[in-house]
Amino acid sequence: MNNWTTRTPLSEAQEDYLKQILLLGSGGNETGRLEDTLAVSTQSLAEQMQVRPASVTGMLKKLAELGLVVHEAYRGVRLTEAGYKVALEVLRHHRLIECYLHQALGYGWEEVHAEAEKLEHHISEAFEARIAEWLGHPSHDPHGDAIPSATLELPQSNPSCRLSGLERGAFGLVVRVATQDQDALNLLAHLGLRPGASVQLLEHLREGSRIQVGQERYLLPTALAQVLWIEEGGPRG
Amino acid sequence: MNNWTTRTPLSEAQEDYLKQILLLGSGGNETGRLEDTLAVSTQSLAEQMQVRPASVTGMLKKLAELGLVVHEAYRGVRLTEAGYKVALEVLRHHRLIECYLHQALGYGWEEVHAEAEKLEHHISEAFEARIAEWLGHPSHDPHGDAIPSATLELPQSNPSCRLSGLERGAFGLVVRVATQDQDALNLLAHLGLRPGASVQLLEHLREGSRIQVGQERYLLPTALAQVLWIEEGGPRG
DNA sequence: GATTATTTTTAGGTATAACTAAATCTTTGT
DNA sequence: ACAAAGATTTAGTTATACCTAAAAATAATC
Ligand SMILES: [Mn+2]
Ligand SMILES: [Mn+2]
Ligand SMILES: [Mn+2]
Ligand SMILES: [Mn+2]
């Protein structure tokens, strides 16, 4: 356990591990407080990182030595304060870049993830500051995920529920699309189910949820209905 | 020597070596033709890459195996057609990114190099295409270096000479600032000696060249006078 | 509480890209 | 022509980040 104030730059792999530990520990709902975070299993990290569990163990050892995580063997891993800071910093890069690609360069909101995943590790703080400025310091990315501020606080989000949990007849606004699966994103984009879109829930069926978006009615498979987070609101928002 | 049409992605280090072999082999004056390129020594590569000669030899072996260079032991290295293509692609990324940072994000022209040096390896072809489009397909970067086109041709440049080679009393336009040295760039930027600036050569002295830029007169050390490339032209251009 | 299944760790191995030290080749000066 | 100097390569080492296979620990089931 190493507590230098000045640390050697982390590798792309190390940064991605820290970010994944944060995301998995938050269950897709970051609160901005390390205490609200759960221990993360080696297995789940291995799945997310597309890597063998043995490789995860190796990396966790390294990160623990650097003082960025606490790893209790067989019980999972948590971020330290230092590791949490790094993870938020990477998350800020990722989400700002997504915004920028969408708003400044005309990428579709469903296309931005892959490019951001790489660039997040390679931009300078100056670059971060300039695009944040250009964007007007946005609070959410194109998928509706909150962007940590320059001081690494997360903005409060309004209460929302999954589309699959909406009552029959209810109206609402899509506020978050919580998947990185490219096929799912493409399909949702095609249906106009982007953050900001308004939907009505017609009924829940065994195969999924029937919904109305604009003039169109769709049957949305449950898997997809669970990644859409909705803020309830009157008809046509 | 491996000649697949589909190749495994190259590492950042490999791309930087190929780019450096092109730059050193062109003596700072790329013509766009591989034949105009000279063999490059292990030593000069080691200096540019900030690495020991032994490390260069190792990398050249690898690149030769991949069919990207031809390495004659003890006599230097040249790019193959395939390696030349890769080098031009990296150069295009580098110079487009420099333009973009300068024009879209407000970086000073003297600040863009370091950021471009990293990002050049991590942007997609889609990103390249979008910024090229946004910029209106520029032919030169903020230092006055020619940008390879999307099809990897280099635009013709007008004839020019070093400031140190200008005749007494001659007027001219700065068209290229051929250094990556950060201190030199900062100084030249401070003096307004950027591409596009017009200068008059007053006289050559032992210590350097006396010049006039706008209302100001400076004594420019020879080292700096040699990195400024000038297109001759009438007073005030 | 013992047995089985799952998860996790250990041990050993690959590839990349650096390094140092020593050997070898080329150039240069006399 | 030949020795010294300089450049380059070889050999052997290190560090990162991944892998597989086998051992060990934990959790689930009877
Ligand atoms: Mn990433
Ligand atoms: Mn996102
Ligand atoms: Mn580079
Ligand atoms: Mn440049």
Q: Which of A105, A117, A134 to mutate to test the interface with B (most CBs of B within 10 A)?
A: A105
Task: Domains for chain A: give ranges and CATH numbers.
Answer: 1-155 (1.10.10.10), 161-232 (2.30.30.90)
Check residue A3 and give its pLDDT: 44
DSSP A99-112: HHHHHTT---TTTH
Give tens-digit pLDDT for B200-222. Answer: 999 999 999 999 999 999 999 99
In whole angstroms, give the CA distance from residue A100 to residue A7: 29
Q: What is the mean pLDDT of residues B90-104?
A: 98
Which residues have CB under 8 Å from B132's CB, separation 6+?
Answer: B96, B138, B150
Predicted local confidence at residue B113, as pLDDT: 94
Tokens for B123, please give them: 């942007």
pLDDT at res. B132: 98
Looking at residue B119, what is its pLDDT? 97
Distance of CA A136 to the CA centre of its chain: 20
The answer, for A218 touching chain B at a CB cutoff of 8 Å, is: no
Q: How many CB pairs under 8 A join A and B?
A: 39
CA of A168 to the centre of ligand 1 (A): 39
Closest ligand relative to A14 C-alpha: 1
Mean pLDDT, residues B168-180:
94
C-beta atoms of A122 and B122 within 8 A? yes
* Minimum-distance nucleotide, CA of A57 to C1': C9
Asked if A104's CB is within 8 angstroms of B104's CB, the reply is yes
Residues of chain A with pLDDT under 50: 1-5, 237
Contact (CB<8Å) A115/B106: no
| Bridging pattern class, strands B198-204 and A76-79 | unpaired
A123 lies within 8 A of chain B by CB: yes
What tens digit of pLDDT does each residue of B28-41 get? 789 999 999 999 99
| Stated pTM of the model | 0.91
Average pLDDT over residues B147-174: 93
Which pair of structure tokens corresponds to residue A84?
Answer: 């949490």
Closest-lying nucleotide for A72 based on CA to C1': C8
Chain B partners of A123 at a C-beta cutoff of 8 Å? Answer: 115, 119
Q: Which one is predicted more confidently, B59 or A27?
A: B59
Res B192 pLDDT > 90: yes
For strand C, which nucleotides have at least one atom less than 7 Å from a protein CB?
7-12, 16-22, 25-26
